[in-house]
Amino acid sequence: MLREMCTMPGRLRGRLLFFSIMVFSLHHWQVSATPSEAAVLAQLKNMWRAAPSVVKLWVDAVDACHGPWPGVGCALTDNPTIQAPCFILNVNCTVVSLKIPNGNLTGEIPLILAGLSSLQHLDLRGNLLKGRVPPELLDSFPSLSFLDLSLNYFTGTIPQAQNATFEYDTWTKNCFSSDNSCELAPQMRPIADCRRETSLQLQPCDSWTRKHLLLLIVIVLICPLTVIAILSAIAIYYWRSRSQQAAHFWQNRSPLRAPDVEATPQRSVCKQFTHQELHTATNSFHHNCLLGAGTTGIVYRGKLDDGTNVAVKQLDTRNSGMLINDEFWNEVKVRGAIRHPNVVTLRGFSKGLGGCDPMLVCEYMPNGSVLDALLSDSTPLRWPRRYSIAHGAAVGLEYLHEHCRPPIIHGNLKPSNILLDRDFTARVGHFGSVRVAKVSQRAVVTTLGFVDPEYGVTGKLTEKSDVFSYGMLLLVLVSGRRMLESHPSGTNK
């Protein structure tokens, strides 16, 4: 080769030499760029390839970032907030998201994840991961803003990162113990499940603490229940005495009167959206659009093509126990026919074909919920506004009971389900997915403290159940405290 080059003309020999140097430089620059991240993904593939998850779709012939591999999101280092296809061996290409939910992943959380130091979004919820989560692993991700490790079997205590701050993180439905290590932390799995799936060992609680804790629980329960019983009796009496007058008022005098709704999907004005439309509206379900997360799914803020702001609820059918069938969608269309100034309007839905999650599209409420308003220091609720909220919630609930055919029972009335529009008008919301969903867990249907005692015995919801919950809502409005309802982690208005 060298002998042939020597016999070439000078100009041609110079061009060939320059071209050879460029090829060698490019090759050397590419393979020496970010081999650590490529190696981490290769090890994860070998570690998790036996699980029936998206990891089985990670093919060596396809570049992890340019393909990309399912669940792996990459971006250029000069603009890491916007995901874009690039080559993982490129020095300007880095992994920013890893999403493998519900993938039956087993074993402990791999410490080699620390090699993906540019991660911004890590979602490993709904797997079978066990063991402890080292705090130093979380400190390896200085840019991590979204972390979801719920619905696994992690043990120990919930780790506290020293150098990382998250906009959204959730650890629920695991096997973490409290600081004293004698009981599980709140919102964890049943202790029987943890002992069956892990080597959980809890220290015995001090007998003195048990005795006094039991006494404290009795005192804490008796006093509020007495107040609740009195206020509920007053609310029921007021409801019965005023229901006929309120119905007459809205039928004959109120300019806000809405017609009765019959239970037929043919009258629905619900629009069926495609998954791509809602994907675009929510900026690819970006975490900056996240409004909240509950037992039945995650809610995002979205903007339709016509500029209308909406709330998009992505239903979690795998972990909530929802049964999505034709009856479900027929009843969703019935909810779409409801139009009332004190009820949140259901604007549309997406059936989630092709493996995508089904979604509901509702009006966007810019002032959040009553719970948000009670916890806010910037906009305190004055007494006239609290009275207006209580009255609006009562009118919306009365409409569902008295003017819909058949009557609609909310079943989960609480401060976080009473939303506030731009003018702080109370709007009854989150009743569609509760009423029509076929669920196997009562916790999805009701919230502790806001459901009437008869439901715990009969398992049936009636109009009286909503009246009891409304009495609890009045108690929260009067006291200004959130009482028994917890605020979701990582939510914003």
Q: What pLDDT score was predicted for residue 7?
A: 55
Q: Which of 202-206, 341-345, 485-489 has the highest mean pLDDT?
A: 341-345
* Last residue of one domain, picked from the residues 176, 198, 229: 176
Q: How far is CA 131 from CA 81, 173, 179, in A?
A: 31, 14, 17
Question: 221-249 burial string, b = 16+ CB within 10 Å, else e?
Answer: eeeeeeebeebbeebeeebeeebeebeee
* 226 and 118 part of one domain: no
Answer yes or no: is pLDDT of 262 > 70.
Answer: no
Question: Angle 383-402/207-252 helices, nearest 10 degrees?
Answer: 70
* Residues of each annotated binding site: 313
In this structure, the answer to whether residues 429 and 326 fall within a common structural domain is: yes
DSSP 8-state symbol, 54: G
User: What value does the mean pLDDT take over residues 98-126?
Assistant: 93
pLDDT band at 409 (very low <50, low <70, confident <90, very high): confident
Same domain, 53 and 154: yes
Task: Encode pLDDT of 434-443 as tens digits.
Answer: 444 444 344 4
| Interatomic CA distance for residues 321 and 216, integer angstroms | 35
- Domain identity same for 278 and 403: yes
State the pLDDT confidence band at 486, using cuts at 50, 70 and 90: low
Give the per-residue pLDDT at 322.
63
Dihedral, CA of residue 442, residue 446, residue 449 and residue 453, to nearest 10: -70
Give the residue from 116, 149, 176 where a domain finishes.
176
Contact 199, 442 (CB under 8 A): no
The tens digit of pLDDT for each residue in 339-387 reads 899 999 988 888 877 667 788 899 999 998 898 888 887 878 889 999 9
Mean predicted confidence (pLDDT) in 425-444: 59
Same domain? 327 vs 393: yes
Q: What is the pLDDT of residues 118-149, one digit of tens each?
A: 999 999 999 999 999 999 999 999 999 999 99
**What is the per-residue DSSP string for 316-333?**
-TTTS----SHHHHHHHH
Between CA 202 and CA 185 the distance in angstroms is 12
pLDDT tens profile 448-458: 667 788 877 88
Asked, for residue 326, whether it belongs to a domain, the answer is yes
- The C-alpha atoms of residue 301 and residue 310 are separated, in whole angstroms, by 6
Q: Say yes or no to pLDDT of 325 above 90.
A: no
Statement to judge: residues 364 and 233 lie in one domain = yes
Residues flagged as binding site for ATP? 313
Confidence at residue 66, expressed as pLDDT on a 0 to 100 scale: 86
Lowest mean pLDDT among 11-25, 87-101, 110-124, 206-220: 11-25
Could you tell me where the DSSP H helices lie in 33-109?
Answer: 35-48
Half-sphere exposure of 58 (CA within 13 A, CB side): 23
Task: Please report whether residue 197 resides in a domain.
Answer: no
Q: What is the pLDDT of residue 258?
A: 43
Mean pLDDT comparison of 31-40, 422-431, 438-447, 452-461, highest-scoring range: 422-431
* 277 located within any domain: yes
Q: Are residues 158 and 263 in the same domain?
A: no
Angstrom CA distances, 217 to 129, 210, 212, 456, 485, stand at: 34, 10, 9, 20, 17
pLDDT at res. 489:
42
| pLDDT > 90 fraction of the chain, expressed in percent and rounded | 33
Task: Give me the pLDDT at residue 449, please.
Answer: 67
The answer to whether position 72 is within a domain reads yes
pLDDT of residue 442: 43
Beta bridge partners, 76, equal 93
Has residue 99 got a pLDDT over 90?
yes
Tell me whether residue 493 is in a domain: no
Q: What is the CATH number of the domain that holds 463?
A: 1.10.510.10
Do 170 and 244 sit in the same domain of this protein?
no
CATH number at residue 41: 3.80.10.10
Residue 308 counted as domain residue: yes
Q: Do 321 and 243 belong together in one domain? A: yes
**4 vs 310: which has the higher pLDDT:** 310
How much is the mean pLDDT over the chain?
79
**Structural contact between residues 314 and 281, judged by C-beta atoms closer than 8 angstroms:** no
DSSP state string for 431-469 = -HHHHH---S-HHHH--TTTS-HHHHHH----HHHHHHH
Is the pTM for the entire model greater than 0.75? Answer: no
Q: pLDDT at position 487, please?
A: 53
User: Which of 176, 208, 232 lies at the terminal end of a domain, its last residue?
Assistant: 176
Helix/strand/coil for 79: coil
User: What average pLDDT does this structure show over 314-321?
Assistant: 71
The pLDDT of 58-74, averaged and rounded, is: 88
Instruction: Compute the average pLDDT of residues 108-120.
Output: 93
Sign (positive/negative) of CA torsion 335, 412, 251, 405? positive
Listed range (69-73, 216-220, 264-268, 318-322) with the worst mean pLDDT: 264-268
Pair 139, 245 in one domain = no
**276 and 146 fall within a common domain:** no
Distance from C-alpha of 131 to C-alpha of 135, rounded to nearest angstrom: 13
Is the residue at 26 inside a domain?
A: no
**Is residue 405 one of the residues assigned to a domain?**
yes
H-assigned helices in 131-274: 135-138, 191-197, 207-252
Residues 308, 326 contacting (CB under 8 angstroms): no
For residues 328-342, average pLDDT: 82
Query: Domain count of the chain?
Result: 2
For 219-238, give the DSSP string: HHHHHHHHHHHHHHHHHHHH
- In terms of domains, do 344 and 441 share one? yes
Give residue 69's domain range: 33-176
